[in-house]
Structure 1
Amino acid sequence: MFIEQVKNKSFRFFLYLPIPVFFLVLMIANYMASSEMNTEQMIHQTIAELGENMTFFWSIVPLSIACLLLWLWVKVIHRQSITSLTTSRPKVDWSRILFSFGLWATISIVLTLVVYFSHPENFTLNFKPGPFFIFLALAVVLIPLQTSFEEYLFRGYLMQGIGVVTRSRLVPLLITSIMFGLMHIANPEVGKMGNIILIYYIGTGFFLGIMTLMDEGLELALGFHAANNLVGALLVTSDWTAFQTHSILKDVSEPSAGFDVILPVFVIFPVLLYIYSRKYQWKNWKEKLTGTIVFENKEGV
């Protein structure tokens, strides 16, 4: 079982606390800073000074480095293998990561093409070969690290840690999903569309959390999240998103949070969970999502 992976590790509660406490303080500080300044204007100003590619680089590098630091903390401080933080399987299942990446990348491309051809007036061609391929090289390296950090932090480190402390599966699912959504509260999309967009972010957190608990590992969530951010950043940009990049297309329409929130959370994500459940033969949904965790070895907990 995925959460139980830490039962035979050197888990110490006081060593577990620094990362969630630090991240919580960072989230609060980030929210307070964003409430005092216009995030969208700040991004535009940075782009005017550094350009899109360098702005992207400096905005994403901290999270990419944080991924490496989190792995180091888990390995050195907790003496826990990265494999056990990733999956309950004997080794990381790369076929799961690639399947999930390919599935969501394909769906994302198809949906983007449908929207583009149905409403071409909402888009302009933004493709510039030189800047695009530089951005592509940066994105392929940095975005998977950024998305992996978020998955390892929320669906890995926090999911396992909260599960150990509470002996519950439902509690870490609820906490990590809500925290994941609130982490995006300082994004310019929230300022542009309103707090209703948090339904999408929190809904995505629940989707990824359910996927992780049902599949007993992070592989599917890692693949989905990487495809979501990478393909999205390469295909479409706009003047009001967190990632303003040298993408192929630029969305020039006026943003609104309605159908774009409802469709993924209440239609697409349930369909994807059904596809995953059929492919990987998920069973015992109630037990895996809401059951009590029992540890045979309670040493160090």
Structure 2
Amino acid sequence: MKICVYGAGAIGAYLGAQLALAGADVSFVARGPHLAAMQANGVRLQIDGVERVVKVRCSADPRELGTQDYVIVALKAHSVPGVMGAMQPLLGSDTAIVTAVNGIPYWYFYKHGGEFAGTTLDSVDPGGKQWNVLGPERAIGCVVYPATEIVEPGVIRHVYGKKFPIGEPSGERTERVQRLHEIFIAADLDAPIRDNIRDEIWLKLWGNLCFNPISALTHATLDVITSDPATRAVSRTMMMEAKAIGDRFGVHFRVDVEKRIDGAGAVGAHKTSMLQDLEAGRPMEIDPLLSVVQEMGRLVGQATPTIDTVLALIKMRERIAQQTPVRFAPLERKTRVTEVSQAA
């Protein structure tokens, strides 16, 4: 089984290294010092204080890697449109694309059913380019719950979690999703096959759409956001606006809003990925987490006044950050934090 991880950062390299240890033929697309270190020394994977060196073929050029059975996209969602052309040499007639990205994916309304089946979302897929170039029929959904960090180039430390729920847009238990499940299990990863992966996507998005922008606007960590009465109230209001939209599209939220907020607070004094990106001067994942919820609300005529307000503020924050040199203290660790839910 040939698997390419496109975007072998903290999560991608952890996932790919585990799959390689399980016997899959894994390759990485990466860049910069991290790529150079993995090419020279392999991936140094640290789990529970034990380090293993995993040799994986790594390249900045997908043309060197050949056609794959699965391409796991582990990039930030806003980076995907810029690599669609480069990804083409990896794609054969039967290649599946596993979208291990935050937020609503480009294929969301593929085989969705109802009046919105086949709809593309401009906030995450402008002009339907991913839909048309990558193809929704290739997609397998994947939700990322673990947290990992790049300690230094080529060195990945696993922090917690190993859950990667997966599922077909149609909800079917196809041969390709079963094979993916089996190799994940062999790699000591928890990969339940969901008959409605969209529910899992929304469960994670439900918290990310409020905690991430609030943290970037206030510089507060998750424990503070969820325990302060004012920011907890804003989070709850945003989440209930989003739930009203999800309900219209048939989403089932298997935990209530208070339990979801408490689950995020239990993570402790962690900076969200959006706050980390702001402090590092990187683009923030705004559209896949907020703009898309606003857009989906417009599709069904559901108002989102609090989401609209926070979205306007975080977009202004990003514009100002792009115009102003970064003045924050550098992060001590390059940590990929994944906000937890009370997922069963």
Length-normalised TM-score, structure 2: 0.27
Which is richer in helix? Answer: 1
Flag the structure with more relative contact order, 1 or 2, with Cα contacts below 8 A and sequence separation at least 6.
Answer: 1
